[in-house]
Structure 1
Amino acid sequence: MNTTPQLRQGLSQRQLMMIAIGGIIGAGFFVGSGVVIGKAGPAAFLTYALCGLLIILVMRMLGEMATANPSTGSFSEYARQALGGWAGFSVGWLYWYYWVIVVGFEAVAGAKVITYWFHAPLWLLSLILMVLMTATNMFSVSSYGEFEFWFAGIKVATILIFLLLGTLYAVGLWPHHHANFSNLHAHGGFFPNGVHGAFAAVVVVIFSMVGAEVATIAAAETPDPERAVQRATNAVAARIAIFFVGSVFLLTVILPWNSLQAGSSPFVAALKQIGIPGADHVMNAVVLTAVLSCLNSGLYSASRVLFVLAGQHEAPAKMLEVSERGAPYIAIVCSSVVGFLCVIMAAVAPNTVFSFLLNSSGAIVLFVYLLIALSQIVLRRRTPSEELRVKMWFFPVLSILTVLGIVAVLVQMAFDHSARTQFWLSLLSWAVVVAMYFVTKRVAARAD
């Protein structure tokens, strides 16, 4: 008999759709896109298209598995079913580790954004943001969903407005401006740093798109998980094509690729070029919204993964305790505490401990995606066709190509001087987690 506590199905379809959309539009896109354009030049939108395709394929694989078997902490369960206990344990703990580090990082980033308007200690502002988002998650899953709905709505509205203004400017319908696409070739050509430059930016782009998979975790807390996952995964493809590829294409049309300053948002520069007053304040507010959205989703994802691990007796049983409103409150608090410890490390040891934490989680999400892809290939062969409401396209060819694509990105990280440390430390993190799995199993066997 299943005695595992149940989470409340308090998310609506509209909330889940926005979680899926908002999950892929983080603060990293609004600022990090400048880094990508600096590496790839005008060809940056092709880099976004290529990485977007990889994320779409991973989401389609997740959609296939999640509609056949909706489950909180979904991909941890699928890895366990397909590849064994070590894989489920790895995916769960690696994904939890990734998100609690991200929560700490985003809290610091959010605090830095706020200091644009008024000065206060970073640790204090970070603490306030952490407490605010923890309270949101603790209250109920519907409050998390509602916050995320509005956070995502602001990000989506901002990009749509930018797409409209940018298109009018590019095609010559903006006052006192004629159609001009010369920036695509006038400053060293379409590939100013060679085709290699476009591929060198892949790692940055992939990490700016992480988060869409949160929708498949959240789907288990909706009244109709199958329909929710199907709609959310189908929506991701169009959103990536429009929001990412469209926005970056317009950025490279409006601005010379080599005019962007490192660390500043190209969206601010583009809006100033168009002639929009107060662009810096508007975009700063949007970046803060994106940070809060990431904080919100990070705590949500980390707590649900802990909940699932506890259900498998791979995390303390206390993590299974659920509040009257159906939220796993102890898992939320524990994830929040670890996130705040990361904030403290950012204050007292930014170049040692905090740097190590960031680097040791840098490639983890790619390892998780790799295990997701391998799980789909295995489970597809075991699942009766009538149970597959969503199917991966052109199976097994595209599934295998997805695995090869993820491996190619990891290989590039291993040899890229700017990403090499992240790759090897993240690989070490994975090795430690796998070792923990076998140690805990051996201890449990001796106890029995």
Structure 2
Amino acid sequence: MESHEKGLQKTLQTRHITMISIGGIIGAGLFVGSGAVINTTGPGAVLSYAIAGLLVVLLMRMLGEMAIVNPDSGSFATYAREAIGPWAGYTIGWLYWFFWVIVIAIEATAGASIIHGWIPSLPIWMISLVLTFLLTLTNVYSVRSFGEFEYWFSMIKVVAICAFMLTGLVILFGFLPAHPSPGLSNLTQHDGFLPKGFTSIFIGILTVVFSFFGSEIAAVAAGESSNPEKNVVKAINSVVIRILLFYVGSVAILVLLLPWDQADLLKSPYVTMLDMVGIPAAAQVMNVIVLTSVLSCLNSALYTNSRMLYSLAKRGDAPKVLLRLSKNGAPVPAVLLSTIAAYICAIFNFVSPDKLFLFLVNASGAIALLVYIVIAVSHMRLRRKYEKENPGVLKLKMWMFPYLTYATIAAMIVILFSMAFVESMRSQFYLTMLIAVLVVLSYTFVKKKKKANVIEETREDLHA
């Protein structure tokens, strides 16, 4: 194990960064969750996806602007520290780490459940631990091995969603005689485009906005990119196309193809599409694709968590041992700590799923929105600083600054506090706020400890 003096290796290529950013957006939330959103919102779910997607596009543009000026493995936590203060960088960095630890446990269990369906003799808890362990190895070996695995995971997801969309279009344009095209009937019948009223769109946004979380990983990966400026610009500029095509486009096909009020068809809408064109074992094909999404999420979560820990340690907000690197430039202790924490959460999931694990899941529920708000506020402050100190440094600029940044901050705050008024999300809101307050309080303890260490070191130097 080597020291951190050489720093993280910058071996991620353009194709890695591009596919990492794509993979961050296409997940089980699209393949599985889109049907539930359509069933609760109606055809108007397309607007929910479009509005939430627009907000995320704006946020990624802000993040891209900051990432080009300062490509750092801590990403938005680093920018929050610089723009708002050390306490903000500390708080959002640890909250983000906590969020992905919970996601690792959830995704490992989901993936294990799929494999258990194929091999019932293997217990789910064992499979979940094995999956996490295997992907830990790819992250421990080198950043390039992570990039390669994520590249191919993302490629499979992209091919799958494009195939699904093509299948849907084949049916809609009437190229499948066995299943006549429904045309626009699913938009006009079944109580119309907004069967549950305009407010249902807003409820849909509350659910959908979390599906986009993960696209910010491209900015984290920029710190290990061989050409961060080129790669970040390419990744951020393509966010618009990805959201329009993969989310809004595919959901639009689903609402045209399937009646919104038939829950049995929407339980797994992509399986329904495959059944329509007579593809054998459609459910198993879907299981393979969802498993790929799960493994991709696990891989990315372990990566981004270790880099966030590394960044926190570099600024004295986490133990210095997390700065140790392998000969391949991988922060092994940081990866292992994330893995161990995920193992513990996975154990909670099997020992106390309805108490301990449910508490952890709910406590991480609104962290994505806190991260989004911090990104926007950091951009507001740093943009003015950059323009004042070195205007030429901005290679990628946020549109209509500062108005769109203000509008995005306001929208995210409204979405966050609206969670307190939605019964299914209320516990997530309050528990996340509780965890956030506890992390802020822990910062005061860490700050006092660091101050005491500085005083002690000064005394030792004077007596030396």
User: Where on the TM-score scale, by shorter chain, does this alignment land: which range?
Assistant: over 0.9
Letter in 1 for 2:111: G
Q: Distance in 1 between matches of 2:173 and 2:391?
A: 48
| Alpha-carbon shift at residue 260 of structure 1 (Å) | 2.4
Q: Measured at CA, do residues 375 and 4 of structure 1 come closer, stay the same or move farther in structure 2, by a change above 3 Å?
A: farther
Matches within 5 A, 1:235-384: 235-261=238-264, 264-383=267-386, 384=390
Helix, strand or coil at the partner of 1:190: coil
Structure 2 counterpart of 1:93, one-letter code: W
Q: Which is further off, 403-412 or 176-185?
A: 176-185
Q: What is the rounded CA distance, in whole Å, between the counterparts of 2:308 and 2:152 in structure 1?
A: 24
Instruction: Identify the match of residue 211 of structure 1 among 211, 214, 234.
Output: 214
Q: CA deviation at 1:177?
A: 4.3
Q: How far 1:108 sits from its partner (Å)? A: 0.7
Cross-structure match for 2:424:
418
Kept in 2, the 8 Å contact 1:159–1:243? The answer is yes
**DSSP-derived class of the 2:424 partner:** coil
Deviation at 1:145, TM superposition (A): 0.4
Work out whether residues 307 and 328 of structure 1, in 8 Å CA contact, stay in contact via their aligned partners in 2.
yes
Contact kept? 1:68, 1:388, Cα under 8 Å = yes
Moved more, 403-412 or 307-316: 403-412
Cα offset for 1:385? 2.1
Does 376-385 or 200-209 show the bigger shift?
200-209
Displacement, 1:171?
1.8
Whole-angstrom CA distance in 2 between matches of 1:195 and 1:5:
55
Match of 1:232 among 235, 242, 250: 235
Q: CA deviation at 1:173?
A: 2.5
Match of 1:137 among 136, 139, 142: 139
Deviation of residue 270 (structure 1)?
2.4
Distance in 2 (CA, whole Å) between partners of 1:411 and 1:3 is: 41
Computing the radius of gyration from Cα coordinates, the structure with the larger value is 2
Matched-pair contact (CA < 8 Å) for 1:90–1:434: yes
Aligned to 1:23: 24
2:461 corresponds to:
none
The 8 Å contact of residues 72 and 218 in structure 1, kept in 2 or not, is answered as yes
TM-score computed with the length of structure 1 as normaliser:
0.97
2:62/2:398 contact within 8 Å kept: yes
Further displaced range: 264-273 or 87-96:
264-273
Deviations, residues 199-235 of structure 1 (Å, cap 9, x unaligned): 1121221111110000001011111111111111111
1:424 CA drift (Å): 0.7
Distance in 1, Cα, partners of 2:220 & 2:57:
16
**Helix, strand or coil at the partner of 1:327:** coil
Corresponding residue for 1:402?
408
Length, aligned pairs only = 447
Provide the C-alpha distance between the structure 1 equivalents of 2:382 and 2:222, rounded to a whole number of angstroms. Answer: 20
Residue number in structure 2 paired with 1:444: 450
Give % identity: 47
User: Aligned partners of 1:404, 1:53: CA distance in 2, in Å?
Assistant: 14
Local SS of the residue matching 2:378: helix
Question: In the alignment, which of 155, 158, 161 is matched to residue 156 of structure 1?
Answer: 158
CA contact (8 A) 1:254 1:273 kept: no
Judge which range, 259-268 or 4-13, deviates more.
259-268
Q: 3-state DSSP class of the match of 2:238?
A: helix
Matching residue's letter, 1:162 = F
Q: 2:458 is matched with which residue?
A: none
Which one is further off, 403-412 or 341-350? Answer: 403-412
Secondary structure of 2:198's match? helix
Q: 2:167 aligned to 165, 168, 180, which one?
A: 165
Match of 2:89 in 1: 88
CA contact (8 A) 2:164 2:273 kept: no
The Cα offsets for residues 264-287 of structure 1, whole Å up to 9 and x where unpaired, read as: 321112222343332211111000
Shift of 1:372: 0.8
| Equivalent in the alignment of 1:6 | 7
Give the Cα–Cα distance (whole angstroms) in 1 for the partners of residues 290 and 44 of structure 2. Answer: 24
Asked if 1:195 is matched to 2:201, the reply is no
Q: Please, what is the CA RMSD of the aligned residues?
A: 1.4
Which runs of 4 or more aligned residues in structure 1 lie more than 6 Å from their structure 2 counterparts after TM superposition? none
Shift of 1:416: 0.4
1:279-327 Cα deviation digits (max 9, x unpaired)? 2111110000000000000000100000000000110000000000110
8 Å contact kept, 2:14–2:231: yes
Deviation string for 1:1-35 (max 9, x for gaps)? x9744011121110110000110111121111111
* Distance (whole Å) between structure 1 residues aligned to residue 249 and residue 129 of structure 2: 36
Answer with 123-132 or 111-120: which moved more.
111-120
**CA shift in 2, pair 1:362/1:270, >3 Å:** same
Partners of 1:173 and 1:401 lie apart in 2 by 44
The unaligned stretches of length 5 or more in structure 2 are 456-464
Q: Secondary structure at the match of 1:201?
A: helix
**What is residue 398 of structure 2 aligned with on the other side?**
392
Using structure 2 for the length normalisation, give the TM-score: 0.94
| Structure 2 SS opposite 1:42 | coil
Q: Which runs of 5+ in 1 are unaligned?
A: none
The answer to whether the Cα contact below 8 Å between 1:170 and 1:181 also exists between their aligned partners in 2 is no
Question: Which sits farther off after the overlay, 174-183 or 66-75?
Answer: 174-183
Counterpart for residue 147 of structure 1 = 149
